[in-house]
Amino acid sequence: MRHLIVLALAMVSFSASAQKLWADGFLGALNYQGDLQDKRFTFQQSHLAGGAGATYDLNDHFSVRMHLLFGKLSANDKYGRNASRNLNFESSLFEVQAGLKYHVFPLNSHSLTPYVFAGVAVFHFNPYTYDSTNVKYFLKPLSTEGQGFVQGRKPYALTQMAIPLGVGVKLSLTDNLNVGLEAGLRKTFTDYIDDVSTTYVDEFQLLMERGPKAVELAYRGGELHGAQAYPPANTPRGSAKYKDMYYFTALTVSMRIGSGAAAFAGKWSKSFDCPPNVR
């Protein structure tokens, strides 16, 4: 019988810890900023994205969390300042994020509290486009800026690190359920989410190294202007001054894990109390 009591106490202890643990879900809009979309913040060309994760409350102000994010990024020159270049891209995005949240007001005494967060993330992308006949091509293998055969231009990695930063506000509907609104950007260390960064590589060299499709998709102004010539080598194609970024604005919902388990465990342990010794 003592073993049952020990097990019940262990359940109570686990439940007390679990009540600081929340299951999170979120749904919102994912956007990119870079050479094909230079606006700081816009919902233009945004895509629906979502994910899930968990948050653990360390105390009344600080929480740690781990989230998974799934979505899509895209941009098209026809919506920007460089329409004559006529480039575009799309990419699915998968992110794993771990971070720390700071709640401005104590969690247990305020039903509404703003918060800030920061962390570290790993994300995967793979830019692609469709040619004039609507055939899909992934852009990295085409080395559109000479990556892999021009000195100083190495192929870019499709899995990269990022730094998530952002703000949010959380509203407690009950002790075990809250909703919120969150906006955050991801500072990345790559300029190739969109496959555009520096200058045009020599047309003949690109043709010899990667073939006519690479030349066709490296500069697409000819699709708009007929016989528009491929730009001379080293003509600016993008700008390497700033790295690409993406940002996510979402509605969030969190549900406490293990709520009510402590009370159940306590009742369960009492039902198995050992009878007094009878002599």
Question: Looking at the domain assignment, is residue 269 inside a domain?
Answer: no
Which pLDDT does position 279 carry in this prediction?
Answer: 41
Question: Looking at the domain assignment, is residue 207 inside a domain?
Answer: yes
Contact 15, 279 (CB under 8 A): no
> Domain tally for the chain?
1
Give the CA count within 13 Å in the CB-facing half-sphere of 81: 7
Question: Looking at the domain assignment, is residue 197 inside a domain?
Answer: yes
Q: Along the chain (279 residues), what's the average pLDDT of each consecutive run of 10 residues?
A: 40 51 97 89 90 96 97 93 92 98 89 96 98 96 96 96 97 94 96 97 97 96 81 94 95 85 43 47
Question: Looking at the domain assignment, is residue 130 inside a domain?
Answer: yes
Question: Looking at the domain assignment, is residue 276 inside a domain?
Answer: no
**Rounded to whole angstroms, how far apart are CA atoms 4 and 2?**
5
90: containing domain: 2-262
CB atoms inside a 10 Å sphere around CB 81: 10
Question: Looking at the domain assignment, is residue 278 inside a domain?
Answer: no
Locate 210 and state its tokens: 């990667």
Question: Looking at the domain assignment, is residue 148 inside a domain?
Answer: yes
pLDDT digits (tens, 9 = 90+) for 180-216: 999 999 999 999 999 999 999 999 999 999 999 999 9
What CA–CA distances, in Å, run from 37 to 79, 113, 232?
Answer: 8, 33, 24
Q: Flag whether the pTM goes above 0.75.
A: yes
Which pLDDT does position 158 carry in this prediction?
Answer: 98
Question: Looking at the domain assignment, is residue 272 inside a domain?
Answer: no
Q: What is the CATH number of the domain that holds 253?
A: 2.40.160.20
* CA 174 to centroid of chain Cα atoms: 28
